[in-house]
């Protein structure tokens, strides 16, 4: 069996690492990784393949730096050529990026069955490009691997499965990765000692809804500045966010560092006091490492984290963010529940793809 895995953004490299390892343990399966180039910065891309010992992509499309429509269209065109050349038995896509949707659309047009890892997630905000991507990808995929029961319920409410689709509660491959690499991160990272960190808050900002709206970005920066006066805020800043802040002369009066590799991020998560983020993946990783999270969005796909008081939605309102911060000590998060499958999602996914 030949499987082509399409990735393009940093969280997808982490997910692909554990599933690729599971494929590698099976005789008679050949997996080829296709990197679209969506995250092309070396700190956002190359370092992940090096430090996580993921097989280097067999194909690199080098598509980046253009708008959503142009990027997705160029990816579809390039992937179609590649799929015709390689004739895979399965195409595997992850999450909700432009690379995800491009891989799914190129495959379905050629009648190649698609497996979607992280199916069924919904924010119910159609202004988010990610929401459009995940809905369309779900609709054309054969195997829908859901990380949570909430995701399964979302698909059931929408009338899935259709035709020969299969909905599976697989658990979350991000937890597989967190458990596997957490054992290795102390010997692979010196970020804590290098930055001289003790008690600190870990923050990331990258979503277009926050970075493209200057009022939202200013409000977030103002709130983080207040928090920083009490507890240092450390922010590995996405290059695009840094560029937009510089262009708009927006001061970021907290500790800004370059994007970090996965082992550095795990160590930052292990040692931080709390997480403030607009990242979907980091919300879960905060939970994996028992850290309370404040999410800089108006909604989240990971509603079970809010229900268990591990996460609170603050949006981009300065006063709301500071209120969430001030009430952090009074919260009673439940980090003991097995919301994401306990670390065996990759094996379930690979076993299902080989059997059906």
Q: Where are the domains of the chain?
A: 2-172+341-355, 187-330
pLDDT at 255: 96
Which pLDDT does position 48 carry in this prediction? 66
- Report whether pLDDT(9) > 90: no
Q: What is the pLDDT of residues 157-209, one digit of tens each?
A: 999 999 999 999 999 999 999 999 999 999 999 999 999 999 999 999 988 89
CA distances from 218 to 199, 250, 297, 325 (A): 25, 7, 14, 18
Residues ≥6 apart with Cβ < 8 Å to 304: 148, 150, 339
List pLDDT tens digits, range 17-26. Answer: 899 999 999 9
What pLDDT score does 226 carry? 97
pTM above 0.85, yes or no: yes
pLDDT tier for residue 40 given thresholds of 50, 70 and 90: low
Residue 45 clears pLDDT 60, i.e. is over it: no
What proportion of the chain, given as a percentage, has pLDDT over 90? 84
Identify the residue with better confidence: 72 or 64. 72
User: Would residue 238 show up in a list of annotated catalytic residues for this protein?
Assistant: no
131 neighbors 100 (Cβ within 8 angstroms): no
Q: What is the pLDDT of residues 168-182, one digit of tens each?
A: 999 999 999 999 999
**Is residue 147 over pLDDT 80?**
yes
Contact by Cβ (8 Å): 26, 350:
yes
Task: Tell me, yes or no, if the two domains 2-172+341-355 and 187-330 fold the same way.
Answer: yes
pLDDT at res. 325: 98
Backbone angles phi, psi at 61, to 5 degrees: -85, -25
Q: Which of 7-11, 44-48, 167-171, 245-249 has the lowest mean pLDDT?
A: 44-48
When the pLDDT of each residue in the chain is averaged and rounded to a whole number, the result is: 93
Interval 212-219 mean pLDDT: 95
From the CB of residue 149, how many other CB atoms can be counted at a distance below 10 Å? 12
Mean pLDDT of 63-83: 94
Say which CATH superfamily domain 187-330 falls into.
Glycogen Phosphorylase B; (3.40.50.2000)
What would the CATH number be for the domain defined by 2-172+341-355? 3.40.50.2000
The least confident of 98-107, 109-118, 218-227, 254-263 is: 254-263
Annotated catalytic residue within 35, 116, 206, 238: 206
Residue 52, C-beta contacts closer than 8 angstroms, at least 6 positions apart: 13, 14, 17, 181, 262
Residue among 166, 106, 181 at smallest CA distance from 349: 166
Q: pLDDT tens-digit profile of 221-251?
A: 999 999 999 999 999 998 888 989 999 999 9
pLDDT > 70 in the chain, percent: 97
**Other C-beta atoms lying within 10 Å of the C-beta of residue 113:** 17
């Amino acid at each position: 069996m030949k499987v082509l895995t399409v990735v393009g953004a940093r969280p997808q490299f982490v997910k692909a690492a554990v599933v690729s390892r599971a494929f590698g343990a099976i005789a008679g399966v050949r997996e080829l990784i296709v990197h679209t180039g969506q995250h092309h910065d070396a700190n956002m891309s190359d370092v992940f393949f090096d430090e996580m010992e993921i097989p280097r992509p067999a194909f690199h499309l080098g598509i980046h730096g253009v708008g959503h429509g142009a990027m997705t269209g160029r990816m579809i065109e390039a992937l179609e050529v590649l799929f015709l050349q390689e004739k895979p038995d399965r195409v595997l896509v992850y999450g909700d990026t432009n690379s995800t949707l491009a891989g799914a659309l190129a495959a379905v047009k050629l009648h190649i069955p698609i497996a979607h890892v992280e199916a069924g997630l919904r924010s119910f905000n159609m202004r988010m490009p990610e929401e459009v991507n995940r809905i369309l990808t779900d609709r054309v995929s054969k195997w829908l691997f859901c990380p949570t029961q909430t995701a399964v319920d979302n698909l059931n409410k929408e009338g899935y499965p259709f035709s020969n689709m299969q909905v599976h509660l697989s658990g979350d491959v991000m937890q597989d990765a967190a458990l596997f690499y957490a054992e290795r991160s102390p010997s692979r990272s010196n970020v804590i000692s290098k930055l001289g960190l003790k008690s600190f808050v870990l923050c990331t900002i990258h979503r277009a809804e926050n970075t493209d709206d200057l009022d939202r970005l200013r409000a977030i920066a103002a709130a983080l500045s207040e928090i920083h006066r009490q507890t240092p805020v450390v922010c590995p800043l996405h290059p695009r966010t840094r560029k937009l802040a510089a262009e708009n002369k927006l001061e970021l009066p907290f500790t800004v560092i370059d994007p970090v590799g996965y082992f550095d991020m795990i160590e930052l998560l292990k040692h931080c006091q709390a997480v403030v983020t607009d990242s979907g993946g980091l919300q879960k990783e905060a939970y994996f490492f028992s850290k309370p999270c404040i999410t800089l969005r108006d909604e989240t796909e990971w509603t079970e984290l809010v229900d268990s008081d591990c996460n609170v939605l603050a949006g981009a309102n300065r006063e709301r963010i500071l209120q969430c911060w001030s009430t952090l000590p009074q919260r009673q998060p439940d980090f003991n529940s097995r919301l994401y499958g306990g670390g065996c999602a990759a094996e379930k996914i690979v076993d299902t793809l080989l059997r059906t």
